[in-house]
C-alpha cells in the first residue's frame, strides 16, 4: 500500500521572492522494526544536524532567508510563516515545512498562539 504525507516547501525564485509549494512524501507499508508489525515508512534521507527551538509567545521575527536548508517540525504551540510574496501559512503541531529560501528576501515568522511554540529542526 502506498500513501502520501503532505508538507510545505518554502523556496526562493530567481527574483528573490519566496513562495510556498505544497508537496507529498510517498509512504509505503513495510516492515521497519522486526518483529513488530509493518506500518507506513518513507525513504530515509540524510541529515546534518538536529536541534530544538522554544519560541516565546508574542514573538515576531524580521524578514530573513533561512540560514540553512532545514526541516521545521511543529511540536506544540502555533506559528505563522509568511513568504515574501505575501502568502501566509499556519504552523501547528503535526505539520512540517522544508525551508529552502536560503537566498533572496526570505520569510517572516511569528508565534500566534497563547503559548510558546516548540519546534524540532533538522538541517539537511
Kindly write down the DSSP assignment for every residue of 28-95, as one continuous string: EEE-SSTTSPPEEEPPP---SEEEEEEEPTT-B--SB--SS-EEEEEEES-EEEEETTS-EEEE-TT-
In the structure grid, which three cell numbers stand for residue 52, read together?
Answer: 530544538
The structural domains of the chain, with segments of one domain joined by +, span: 7-23+45-123
Q: Give the pLDDT band of residue 2 (cuts 50, 70, 90).
A: confident
Instruction: Count other Cβ atoms within 10 Å, centred on residue 86.
Output: 8
5-40: pLDDT as tens digits: 999 999 999 999 999 999 999 999 999 999 999 999
- Round to whole Å and give the CA distance between 6 and 24: 4
pTM for this predicted structure: 0.93
Cβ 81 vs Cβ 109: under 8 Å:
yes
Q: Give the pLDDT band of residue 1 (cuts 50, 70, 90).
A: low
Share of the chain above pLDDT 70, in %: 99
34-82: pLDDT as tens digits: 999 999 999 999 999 999 999 999 999 999 999 999 999 999 999 999 9
Q: Which CATH superfamily hosts domain 7-23+45-123?
A: Jelly Rolls (2.60.120.10)
pLDDT of residue 21: 98
Amino acid at each position: 500500500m502506498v500513501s502520501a504525507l503532505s508538507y510545505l516547501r518554502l523556496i526562493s525564485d530567481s527574483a528573490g521572492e519566496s513562495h510556498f509549494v505544497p508537496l507529498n512524501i510517498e509512504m509505503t507499508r513495510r516492515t521497519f522494526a522486526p518483529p513488530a508489525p509493518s506500518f507506513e515508512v518513507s525513504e530515509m534521507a540524510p541529515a546534518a544536524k538536529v536541534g530544538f527551538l522554544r519560541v516565546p509567545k508574542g514573538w515576531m521575527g524580521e524578514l530573513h532567508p533561512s540560514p540553512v536548508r532545514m526541516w521545521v517540525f511543529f511540536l506544540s504551540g502555533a506559528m505563522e510563516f509568511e513568504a515574501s510574496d505575501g502568502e501566509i501559512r499556519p504552523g501547528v503541531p503535526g505539520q512540517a515545512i522544508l525551508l529552502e529560501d536560503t537566498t533572496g528576501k526570505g520569510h517572516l515568522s511569528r508565534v500566534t498562539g497563547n503559548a510558546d511554540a516548540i519546534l524540532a529542526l533538522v538541517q539537511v
